[in-house]
């Protein structure tokens, strides 16, 4: 990852700016060095200090320098004349404003962007220093190739097609290469469009099953085409989610259920100015272009801040929703089209509105409800930029009540004060929009699509909404209000009581304690797991440290992150899964040849053993933390005993370097393939625990992908064949004193829990929010009854029959 140097007249100012920027990053952050002030209190800049800062942070990926004003720029230029010429070539100066530019730079550097890409992002703030440095940022894209040098074809397998997030991933991959790539949707005939344009790619309407043609020209055309094919082969690094259940798509007109929960309160209309786009021509295209660039930068800062808040409060997976919105602000095609319109005499606001309106309309006109919702997302981001151009604020709430708005953007939703906003009602919008997904993750009840009339409701009018059913009542009778209030109080009471009880062990009615642990993927997740009473972490997904960066994290970086997570758990055990990547989730710095079926290829422990330097560094970090905290290591995708033995040999070799295996350290393996379950007895002498990954075990056993809607119904983990494999593992474990955990989604399924306990599972590990309810479920069970229920389930012929057990 690149290094960043901050040059400022004031050291306190620079330190505060750096502290602010680093708060935007969750996970590994770039190194930032300050060259500011003549001392802590004296204003000024020193070229020699700038030179030393640049030299101290020299990275083969490059160094980005941000400056505040005046002599800071001159001192930096002088410092560059003093450094080694080889280093000077790797240094990029940006005219970005110090605070806004630094926030953008840190966020994008943390994502693995190059120095030039980070400089581009930072420069989209203000243009004060751009003239001095002579940097040109934007360039138009062409939708033709002089002579294609590489051509390939691939099919979209994602449930929702090539929507915003995977499209953003594709665009990011394309921009890594010196090549011009075009995409054509052969199924619909749309295209070709530049593969480097997020809006144009999304507008192809590439749905599941559509075949796309990819053509490329340029110096790295072949490499770029191969990289995109590999990306498509691993489903664009998406954890594919099936379409929302039909219950969300209620037929008929009227409010649609969006985010569960009951809210009763007064109407609070969104306090934003009316958006009126001036029609007059641009008096000075240079000024209009500058205003658009400033609005783009301000919007980028808004969304980056919202992303950081969502990551902190709801987790990285929800925060990733906003990455596609950030990518839209860097869409070369949209920006170039807007600039052309401005240069032809159109005002900035009108130019931007017209271009974004066309991009959104292209998606809105497609015959796909999910892509229609993405059109609303594009329009929402566009409106954020327009509000900055027109000097308007976003939705403001200054008193407690139910927010009523035409629609909300994701960053609008993320910025809401949850102490004031009791619920959300929108006139328009979709239950699958990103703003709704964020409302659910933030536990704000919401209904959408209520119609234009709700915008005319008087402030203070009593509303009752049920985000689970879609009910929306306007000024109902007092007895109806009371009934909903009682229901809401009962829900809150049950939730609060479950949370209070969650600090205590989950003990069955006949005295067996079941560990209820968390599946997490970040430090923020660890804090939330501790808050809700998790008995530990049954699965730390370490991939967040390895993906989307140009080089692997070293053992020191990993150890620091794992140690922070272990400390957040307050002494509870942390189970760390070694990095589970491969053909379906490859690493930029660890190329894997394209595979016909990456789920059956070089992944998990197979890749770790094929590239042992990655695993060795990770084991060093894990063992380092295990010397001061209760830690277990877990190897993924183990199929044969030799793989486990080789992994243990690496572990023991690393431990010997550090003085031996730490006391209390445990070793386990994932049981995700039928071979591992069937051969559990051969694995048992070499592990302390088995962790059954029921998501993959189900898919491999039934040859049915959960994300494929045509076969998803087959992929039920309560199929008797899957239960028989779990039973086999548990029987072996019971006879060899090996513990058994389940860390798939079925661990939080109320129907499955008694079956898992009856089969002999000792630990259930799940998403953090499910923990309190699962502990209550366990307490209501007896092992005697669970054993009988599990035995009966093994005799049945289908998952449906198992689920129908009384």
Active site positions, annotated: 434, 743
CA atoms within 13 A on the CB side of 671: 32
Cα–Cα distances (Å) from 10 to 17, 39, 40, 103, 127, in that order, read 11, 9, 8, 18, 21
Strand ranges, E, within 260-394? 262-269
Cα–Cα distances (Å) from 186 to 162, 211, 533, in that order, read 14, 6, 52
**Can you tell me whether residue 104 is helix, strand or coil?**
helix
Q: With beta carbons less than 8 A apart as the criterion, state whether 126 and 297 touch.
A: yes
Q: 114 in the Ramachandran plot: left (φ > 0), alpha (ψ -120 to 50) or beta?
A: beta
Cα–Cα distances (Å) from 555 to 150, 448, 539, 558, 613, in that order, read 39, 47, 19, 5, 11
Strand partners, 626: none
Q: With beta carbons less than 8 A apart as the criterion, state whether 75 and 48 touch.
A: no
DSSP one-letter code for 594: -
47-51, Cβ contacts within 8 angstroms, sequence gap of 24 or more: 47/75, 47/76, 47/78, 47/79, 47/82, 48/79, 48/82, 50/5, 50/7, 50/75, 50/76, 50/78, 50/79, 51/79, 51/82, 51/83
C-alpha–C-alpha distance, residues 641 and 657, integer Å = 25
C-alpha–C-alpha distance, residues 395 and 426, integer Å = 12
Q: Which of 453, 456, 576, 599 is nearest to 517 (CA)?
A: 576
Angle, to 10 degrees, between the axis of helix 285-313 and the axis of helix 523-531?
40
DSSP one-letter code for 799: H
**Can you tell me whether residue 538 is helix, strand or coil?**
strand
């Amino acid at each position: 990852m690149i290094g960043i140097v901050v040059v400022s007249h004031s050291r306190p100012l620079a330190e505060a700016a750096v502290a602010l920027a680093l708060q935007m990053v969750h996970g590994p952050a770039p190194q930032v060095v300050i060259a500011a002030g003549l001392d802590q209190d004296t204003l000024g800049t020193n070229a020699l200090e700038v030179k030393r800062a640049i030299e101290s942070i020299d990275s083969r990926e490059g160094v980005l320098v941000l400056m505040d004003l005046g002599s800071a720029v001159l001192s930096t230029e002088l410092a560059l004349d003093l450094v080694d010429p080889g280093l000077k070539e790797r240094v990029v100066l940006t005219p970005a404003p110090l605070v806004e530019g630094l926030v953008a730079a840190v966020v994008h550097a943390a994502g693995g962007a190059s120095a030039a890409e980070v400089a581009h992002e930072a420069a989209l703030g203000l243009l004060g220093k751009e003239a001095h440095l002579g940097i040109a940022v934007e360039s138009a894209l062409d939708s033709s190739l002089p002579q294609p040098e590489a051509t390939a074809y691939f099919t979209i397998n994602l449930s929702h097609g090539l929507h915003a997030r995977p499209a953003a991933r594709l665009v990011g991959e394309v921009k890594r290469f010196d090549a011009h790539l075009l995409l054509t949707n052969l199924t619909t005939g749309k295209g070709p469009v530049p593969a480097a344009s997020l809006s144009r790619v999304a507008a192809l309407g590439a749905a599941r099953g559509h075949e796309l043609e990819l053509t490329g020209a340029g110096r790295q055309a072949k490499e770029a085409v191969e990289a995109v094919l590999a990306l498509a082969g691993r489903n664009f690094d998406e954890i594919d989610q099936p379409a929302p259940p039909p219950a969300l798509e209620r037929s008929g007109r009227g409010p649609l259920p969006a985010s569960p929960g009951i809210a009763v309160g007064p109407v609070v209309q969104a306090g934003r100015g009316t958006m009126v786009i001036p029609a007059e021509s641009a008096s000075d295209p240079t000024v209009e272009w500058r205003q658009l660039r400033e609005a783009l930068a301000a919007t980028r800062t808004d969304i980056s801040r919202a992303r950081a808040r969502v990551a902190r409060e709801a987790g990285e997976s929800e925060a990733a929703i906003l990455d596609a919105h950030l990518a839209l602000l860097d869409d070369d095609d949209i920006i170039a089209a807007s600039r052309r319109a401005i240069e032809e005499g159109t005002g900035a606001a009108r130019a931007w509105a017209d271009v974004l309106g066309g991009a959104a309309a292209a998606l809105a006109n497609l015959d796909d409800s999910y892509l229609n919702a993405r059109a609303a997302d594009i329009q929402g981001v566009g409106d954020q930029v327009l509000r900055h151009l027109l000097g308007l604020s976003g939705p403001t709430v200054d008193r407690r009540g139910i927010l009523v708005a035409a629609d909300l953007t994701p960053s609008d939703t993320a910025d809401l004060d949850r102490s004031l906003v009791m619920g959300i009602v929108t006139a328009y919008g979709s239950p699958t929009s990103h703003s709704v997904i964020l409302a659910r993750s933030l536990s704000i009840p919401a209904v959408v699509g209520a119609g234009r009339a709700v915008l005319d409701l008087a402030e203070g009018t009593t509303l009752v909404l049920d985000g689970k059913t879609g009910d929306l009542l306007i000024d109902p009778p007092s007895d109806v209000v009371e009934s909903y209030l009682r229901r809401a109080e009962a829900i809150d009471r049950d939730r609060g009581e479950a949370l209070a009880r969650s600090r205590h062990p989950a003990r069955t009615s006949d005295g067996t304690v079941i560990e209820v642990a968390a599946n997490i993927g970040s430090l923020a997740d660890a804090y939330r797991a501790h808050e809700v009473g998790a008995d530990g972490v049954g699965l730390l997904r370490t991939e967040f440290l390895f993906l989307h960066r140009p080089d692997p994290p070293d053992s020191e970086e990993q150890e620091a992150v794992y140690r922070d997570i272990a400390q957040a758990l307050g002494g509870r055990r942390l189970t760390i899964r070694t990095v589970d990547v491969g053909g379906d989730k490859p690493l930029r710095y660890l190329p894997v040849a394209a595979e016909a079926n990456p789920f059956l290829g070089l992944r998990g422990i197979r890749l770790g053993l094929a590239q042992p330097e990655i695993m060795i560094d990770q084991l060093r970090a894990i063992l380092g933390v295990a010397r001061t905290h209760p830690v277990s290591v877990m190897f993924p995708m183990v199929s044969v005993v030799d793989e486990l033995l080789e992994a243990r040999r690496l572990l023991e070799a690393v431990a010997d370097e550090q003085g031996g295996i730490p006391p209390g350290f445990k070793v386990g393996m994932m049981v995700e393939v039928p071979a591992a379950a069937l051969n559990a007895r051969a694995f048992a002498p070499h592990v302390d625990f088995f962790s059954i990954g029921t998501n993959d075990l189900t898919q491999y056993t039934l040859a049915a992908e959960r994300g494929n809607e045509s076969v998803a119904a087959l992929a039920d983990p309560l199929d008797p064949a899957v239960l028989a494999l779990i039973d086999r593992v548990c029987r072996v474990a019971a006879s060899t004193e090996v513990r058994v955990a389940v860390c798939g989604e079925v661990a939080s399924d109320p129907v499955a829990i008694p079956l898992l306990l009856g089969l002999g599972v000792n630990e259930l590990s799940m998403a953090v929010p499910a923990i309190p309810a699962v502990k209550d479920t366990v307490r209501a069970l007896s092992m005697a009854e669970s054993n009988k229920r599990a035995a009966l389930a093994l005799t049945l012929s289908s998952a449906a029959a198992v689920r129908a057990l009384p």
